[in-house]
Amino acid sequence: MSQKLGVCLIGSGGAVSTTIVAGVALMRKNLAPKQGMITESPLAQGLALASLDKLVFGGWDLREDNAFEAAKSHEVVPQHLLNFVKDDLESLKPWKAAVSSKFLHSMSGQNVLACGSFREEIVSIKQDMLKFKEAYTLDGLVMVNLTSTEKFSEPQEVHRSLEAFEKGLDENNSRISPAMKYLYAALDSGVPYVNFTPSLTNIPALAEMARMKKVPLAGEDGKTGQTLLKTALAPMFAARNLKVDGWYSANILGNNDGLVLNDPESNKTKVTSKRSVLDNILGYKVDDHQVHIHYYKPRGDAKESWDNIDISGFLGERMQIKVNFLCKDSILAAPLVIDMVRLIDLAKRRGDYGIQEQLSLFFKAPYHEAGQQPEHNLFTQHEILVKWMRG
């Protein structure tokens, strides 16, 4: 019989989270097609995945709105569909969130943990999960980071080893971000973890802890729209030995995610994450690779990207490709999260732990062991996942 699986969403009132929760409820009632998920494709047949019917959602958010109110405000799932699953959504009332204005200052909310120390925050996070598990008699849990992008930071001494990190927690070291605290709490509770944001969590200290605690983890930064296209097109150029001379990427979006990215420091985190994929696939440094993200109100969640690619081919002759993707941010993201939740839960039950490289397909900047290069080629990633699913 399928597992009853609890999903703990950091940022449970966000656009992606509420789309997931509403979507699963709608699919359960056969009010929406089971589309866009690998775990609902023929590839997944025969796998002992947690059934969509057995997913239970909880989570933290700095706003107090229940998931129905939050979903309404995001305008992703159409209102008339939301009404069909109102009860499912209203019952999701967010737990108090651990936040830090040092890492995120654009957003505001009152539903915030007031603790004296980092250690107390972690205890609170762990208790939330424990209570959730008991309340719903869940067989397992998975934690997913779906908050807004934190400001740019780079690994420091405190992130280099578990020992240093533990000391940092004791000392409330300001270089330890909320994202890291949640991950620490997950690992300490034996809960598999997925970072869907570009916020820094891929640090040696926590990779070490994951191995020690035998917990699987995966991240970071969901590969939804423009970067998905890049990691499909770049292998095409490579396969034809066409030289990429420049790649100019502009993005416009008008949701909260976009608003946060108006903060230059959060923007830097995101752009850094988006820029890493190209050189890796092509095998050389692209001379001029630019990524710009602009908050543009008229769009709401309907994100749009415009890519301009300059290539040269035979005899050095120049050509151009322009790609315009009119997508929906949360609609692309939600099924990836559902896939990963089910797959990392399966990994846990299979006894896998540490970085789950077979999930690289889902990320812009896949977690990887220090000193190694992540795989970015979408089709190589896909093969790795398929092999893992079959084996």
- What DSSP string runs through 77-96? S-HHHHHHTHHHHHT--PBP
- Could you tell me which stretch among 114-122, 155-163, 269-277, 329-337 binds a copy of itself (CB under 8 A)? 329-337
Among 67, 92, 206, 233, binds a copy of itself (CB under 8 A): 233
194 binds a copy of itself (CB under 8 A): no
| Minimum distance, C-beta of residue 32 to a copy of itself, in the bound complex (Å) | 4
378 binds a copy of itself (CB under 8 A): yes
Other Cβ atoms within 10 Å of 28 Cβ, number: 17
- 3-class state of residue 106 by DSSP: coil
User: CA 349 to CA 139: how far, in whole Å?
Assistant: 11
- 3-class state of residue 304 by DSSP: strand
Residue closer to a copy of itself by CB (options 31, 370) is: 31
Among 328, 342, 364, 376, binds a copy of itself (CB under 8 A): 328
CB 363 within 8 A of CB 220: yes
| Minimum distance, C-beta of residue 377 to a copy of itself, in the bound complex (Å) | 8
Binding characters for a copy of itself, 110-139, by CB under 8 A (x = yes) = ------------------------------
382 binds a copy of itself (CB under 8 A): yes
Q: Where are the alpha helices (DSSP H) in the chain?
A: 15-28, 67-74, 79-84, 86-90, 118-135, 157-160, 162-170, 178-188, 204-213, 226-239, 256-260, 264-275, 277-282, 329-350, 378-390
CA angle 6, 8, 9 (to 5 degrees): 140
| Minimum distance, C-beta of residue 9 to a copy of itself, in the bound complex (Å) | 16
Name the residue among 356, 60, 345, 10 with its Cα closest to residue 179. 10
Among 46, 110, 239, 371, binds a copy of itself (CB under 8 A): 239
Q: Which residue has the tokens 């270089």?
A: 175
Among 10, 82, 282, 331, binds a copy of itself (CB under 8 A): 331
Amino acid at 257: D
Among 232, 259, 265, 349, binds a copy of itself (CB under 8 A): 232
| Minimum distance, C-beta of residue 191 to a copy of itself, in the bound complex (Å) | 25
Tell me, what DSSP letter sits at residue 94?
P
284 binds a copy of itself (CB under 8 A): no
Amino acid at 332: L
CB 222 within 8 A of CB 362: yes
User: CA 156 to CA 244: how far, in whole Å?
Assistant: 34
User: CA 46 to CA 211: how far, in whole Å?
Assistant: 28
Amino acid at 148: S
Peptide bond into 220 cis (omega under 30): yes
Name the residue among 322, 237, 221, 348 with its Cα closest to residue 282. 237
Question: By rule CB under 8 A, what count of residues binds a copy of itself?
Answer: 69
- Could you tell me which stretch among 134-142, 167-175, 202-210, 224-232 binds a copy of itself (CB under 8 A)? 224-232
317 binds a copy of itself (CB under 8 A): yes
Residue closer to a copy of itself by CB (options 205, 234) is: 234
Residue closer to a copy of itself by CB (options 228, 277) is: 228
CB 180 within 8 A of CB 204: no
- 3-class state of residue 22 by DSSP: helix
390 binds a copy of itself (CB under 8 A): no
Residue closer to a copy of itself by CB (options 241, 372) is: 241
CB 141 within 8 A of CB 6: yes
Residue closer to a copy of itself by CB (options 55, 77) is: 77
Residue closer to a copy of itself by CB (options 44, 164) is: 44
322 binds a copy of itself (CB under 8 A): yes
CA distances from 91 to 59, 85, 152 (A): 12, 10, 35
Peptide bond into 166 cis (omega under 30): no
361 binds a copy of itself (CB under 8 A): yes
Q: Which of residues 11-70 bind a copy of itself (CB under 8 A)?
A: 19, 23, 26-27, 32-33, 35-38, 40-41
Query: Which parts of this chain interact with a copy of itself (CB under 8 A)?
Result: 19, 23, 26-27, 32-33, 35-38, 40-41, 77, 80-81, 228-229, 232-233, 235-236, 239-243, 245-246, 248, 250, 252, 287-288, 290, 292, 294, 296-299, 304, 306, 308, 310, 312-328, 331-332, 334-335, 361, 378-379, 382
